[in-house]
Amino acid sequence: MLSSRNIAYKLILIITVCSVTIFAVTIGYFYHSSRVTLERELEETARNLVLASVNRMETELSSIGKVGEGVVRSLETGNYPEKSLNTLLKGTLEGNTNIYGFGAAFEPDAPNTHTRPVNYFCRKNGQISFVPVNDLQFRTHDWYQIPKELGKKEWSEPYFDTDVEILMTSCSVPFYDGAGDNRRFRGIVVADVSLAWLKDIVASIKVLKTGYCFLISRNGTMLTHPDKEMVMNETVFSIAESRNNPELYEIGRKMVRGESGFTPYIGARGVKSWMYYAPVSSTGWTLAVVFPEAELYAEVRALTIRVACMGCAGILLLALAVALIARSITTPLHELAEATEEIASGNFDAELPPVRSQDEVGKLSQAFISMNKALKEYIRNLTETTAAKERIQSELKVATDIQLSLLPRIFPPFPDRPEFDIFASMDPAKEVGGDFYDFFFIDDTNLCFLIADVADKGVPAALYMMVAKTLLKSEGQRLGEPERILSCVNNILAADNDRCMFATVFCAILDTGSGVVRYANAGHNPPLIMESQGIRYLTLKSGFVMGPVTDTVYEAERLTMQPGDTLFLYTDGVTEAKNSEDLLYGESQLLYDLQQGPRENLADMIHHIRDRVALHANGAPQSDDVTMVAITYRGSGSG
């Protein structure tokens, strides 16, 4: 599909796809690592924030604890009568504004110098006043019972004081008298602390825009939360329950166990958030800070979007640049293609676009211009050559006609001579050939007939053939004997024959009255005699070929033809006809085909052999002239 598109389209597509891929991977990596870095930084910030706040709480709480411990030490080391105890308690409360109420509770069996089991002071309307407590059930309350049992300072679960409507917690410190085995528990010093300051500390922690903090007690109760409804009414676990959020439940368990952590968290209304929490160790509370993820990543997101926009703009610019470059390449190519098409359609004068640059396209244009020039030149040469060749061809055609016209072609040639039949044919391998035949009367009764093959083929052979044929006829009519004809013509030809051209000639004279044939051979293939008892090759003396050497001697031989006998003369174009496998037609095949073929009509006989030779060649090109002469003696006519 892509292969059919143009170059500009392909370039833009490929480059854009690559750029977008690279850019997307880069920006993805950037976004991811930014997030990771941001999370790490945020965790650090959150931890610092929380730990700093926790420290502030610890400091505050420990100072309150120390107040209680100081009073305990006083009680354990000195003997305070009720009045001085009240002074101590009241004074302490006065000196510590963050304590709301302060008092001491005693064991009933303690060697008590006091009339009251509890001495308690608290702030009311800016005044410190004594609060009488007569209910002795306090000894079963947690604030008394737990530190007594544990034997150490204890912070109570925060509680809501309905009288003053303030969230409170109590710090209870047990005190004893005696030492070692005599050490006995005497009572508890308790400081009630308003937790209003806690709210301020927690509220002062600001994380991002909508991030917030909350504090939970060791039971998971909400001590502070931006949503006031939750304070003291909800626990982490009840929230987890209502939101159906098992992860929050798990976080709550970790908080209660006093662990710290940084964890993703689904906040109220399903807001994806992160939470950091750490314990306030002295009270077992946990301070947690929550911040929504969207805000956390807002900046990274904004930055990423800005970078993405810039990247997209860059890619657009890149695509534009590629399109321009592609155009600058393809426009000349397109022009070149159009011009080339016109040239291909035959208009070699079509104008090729000018070479504008030296780059590859410029070189291509240059090459096309050169090619066009070379083509024009070639076509011009070809036209000239073709014209010249056509001229030669037409001349050769004329030569073929002349050569053929030299051979007797009208059959029967002597219609008024019933003593014999004669037929002949010559098919040149090229336009003009070296083979020829002839027959003519020397006198009333003697018919001279001959077949010849000039060495080689083509124009030189044809020229030589003309001379040889003319000489053979003129000398034949003059001399009247075959051996003398050959000797005489040989000497004439050999006199001036540096190229050693030669011809093989079988020359014979038939006495039409008697059927006697006198013949002489100049290196020609032996003819066949077809008699009533069969067909055979004539055994004859092989004289030397005619033409190259002077004074060659030829011998005359003779045979007598009975009426009905036929002499079959041929050139080696017949027997040496080849097929595509270089297999020769051969003498034995010729003998066989003559035996099988028609005997009565000589034209049929020769055509039959011609067909057999063509069948043997089976389309292979004819390599030599094919010439045949057949003559049948019919008798003198008297008998």
Partner 1 sequence: MEFQVKKEANATVVMITGRMDAVTAPQYESSVNELITGGDTIIVVDFDGLDYISSAGLRGLLVTAKLLKAKGGQLRFANVKGTVREVFDISGFGSIFQMDDSVAESLAKLA
- State the nearest-atom distance from the C-beta of 545 to partner 1, in Å: 5
d(CA 471, CA 464): 11
d(CA 508, CA 633): 13
- State the nearest-atom distance from the C-beta of 542 to partner 1, in Å: 5
- State the nearest-atom distance from the C-beta of 546 to partner 1, in Å: 10
In the complex with partner 1, the residue whose CB is nearer, 419 or 625, is 625
- State the nearest-atom distance from the C-beta of 369 to partner 1, in Å: 42
- State the nearest-atom distance from the C-beta of 584 to partner 1, in Å: 9
**Three-class secondary structure of residue 229 per DSSP:** helix
In the complex with partner 1, the residue whose CB is nearer, 239 or 505, is 505
301-321 burial, b if ≥16 CB within 10 A, otherwise e?
eeebeeeeeebeeebeeebee
Structure tokens at 536: 């055979």
Q: Residues 122, 90: contact at Cβ < 8 Å?
A: no
Identity of the amino acid at 356: R
- State the nearest-atom distance from the C-beta of 496 to partner 1, in Å: 13
Cα dist. 285→268, 466, 609 in Å? 22, 137, 129
In the complex with partner 1, the residue whose CB is nearer, 430 or 607, is 430
d(CA 125, CA 346): 118
- State the nearest-atom distance from the C-beta of 586 to partner 1, in Å: 10
- State the nearest-atom distance from the C-beta of 544 to partner 1, in Å: 3
In the complex with partner 1, the residue whose CB is nearer, 455 or 489, is 455
Structure tokens at 559: 């045979």
- State the nearest-atom distance from the C-beta of 588 to partner 1, in Å: 13
In the complex with partner 1, the residue whose CB is nearer, 458 or 597, is 458
N-terminal to C-terminal alpha carbon distance within the chain: 94
Q: How many CA atoms lie within 13 A of 110 on its CB side?
A: 24
- State the nearest-atom distance from the C-beta of 335 to partner 1, in Å: 50
In the complex with partner 1, the residue whose CB is nearer, 165 or 582, is 582
- State the nearest-atom distance from the C-beta of 579 to partner 1, in Å: 15
In the complex with partner 1, the residue whose CB is nearer, 242 or 539, is 539
d(CA 106, CA 620): 142
d(CA 152, CA 379): 120
70-80 burial, b if ≥16 CB within 10 A, otherwise e?
ebbebbeeeeb
In the complex with partner 1, the residue whose CB is nearer, 453 or 511, is 453
Q: How many residues does the chain have?
A: 639
Structure tokens at 116: 């009251």
Residue 624: which residues within 8 A CB-CB, separation 6 or more? Answer: 429, 457, 571, 572, 573, 576, 577
In the complex with partner 1, the residue whose CB is nearer, 240 or 529, is 529
Q: Residues 273, 295: contact at Cβ < 8 Å?
A: no
In the complex with partner 1, the residue whose CB is nearer, 482 or 543, is 543
Residue 116: which residues within 8 A CB-CB, separation 6 or more? Answer: 82, 132, 133
In the complex with partner 1, the residue whose CB is nearer, 287 or 545, is 545
Host H or E run for residue 273: strand 272-280
- State the nearest-atom distance from the C-beta of 538 to partner 1, in Å: 12
DSSP for residue 181:
G
**Three-class secondary structure of residue 328 per DSSP:** helix
Q: How many CA atoms lie within 13 A of 577 on its CB side?
A: 29
Q: Residues 110, 118: contact at Cβ < 8 Å?
A: no
Chain position carrying tokens 């034995």: 588
In the complex with partner 1, the residue whose CB is nearer, 447 or 494, is 494
d(CA 534, CA 540): 18
In the complex with partner 1, the residue whose CB is nearer, 165 or 551, is 551
Going by C-alpha positions, the residue among 531, 597, 593 that lies closest to residue 564 is: 531
- State the nearest-atom distance from the C-beta of 587 to partner 1, in Å: 9
- State the nearest-atom distance from the C-beta of 618 to partner 1, in Å: 20
In the complex with partner 1, the residue whose CB is nearer, 335 or 587, is 587
Binding-site ranges for partner 1 (CB under 8 A)? 453-457, 498-502, 504, 522-526, 542-545, 548-549, 572
In the complex with partner 1, the residue whose CB is nearer, 26 or 542, is 542
**Three-class secondary structure of residue 517 per DSSP:** strand
Q: Residues 175, 302: contact at Cβ < 8 Å?
A: no
Structure tokens at 117: 């089991």
Q: Residues 582, 390: contact at Cβ < 8 Å?
A: no
Paired with 172 in beta bridges are 154, 190
